Amino acid sequence: MAGKILLVDDAAFMRMMLKKIIAPTGHELLEAVDGSDGVAKYKENKPNLVFCDIVMPNVDGIECLKQIMALDSNAKVVMCSSIGQQTVVNDAIKIGARDFIVKPFDAAKVLEAVSKNM
């Protein structure tokens, strides 16, 4: 069943990469340019799944995750980053992230995260 997926990343190129991978699955794709935009779009659209970058200006991914989880404790959020810092990943999982994928995106891993969490 197709649903809504929110892509939160300050890099337009990274959002485009995710869109190219996910679009063929038929899900509706929404975009946010930073964490505060991500929280606003989450409130407005109630997506089924969120892909959220960790390092962003204004509101970073960890704070975005905290705010989304405060709005909806059942939110499904997959964190994305080129930073393989285990402590950040562990923090995100403790806060409520469902998964973590590393940039550059591996299409198979992205699609696996979609199928696992939709």
For every one of its 118 residues, what pLDDT tens digit does the chain have, with 9 covering 90 and above?
A: 689 999 999 999 999 999 999 999 999 999 999 999 999 999 999 999 999 999 999 999 999 999 999 999 999 999 998 866 778 888 999 999 999 998 889 999 999 999 999 9
Q: What are phi and psi of 38, to 5 degrees?
A: -60, -45
Q: Specify the 3-state DSSP secondary structure of 81.
A: strand
Q: What is the CATH code of the structural domain delimited by 14-24+31-117? A: 3.40.50.2300
Of 91, 113, 94, nearest in space to 102 by CA? 113
The pLDDT score that the predictor gives to residue 83 is 66
The token pair at 42 is 């989450």
Rounded Cα distance, 43 and 84, in Å? 29
Burial class of residue 41 in the structure, from the number of CB atoms within 10 Å of its CB (0-12 exposed, 13-18 middle, 19+ buried)? buried
Q: Whole-model pTM?
A: 0.95
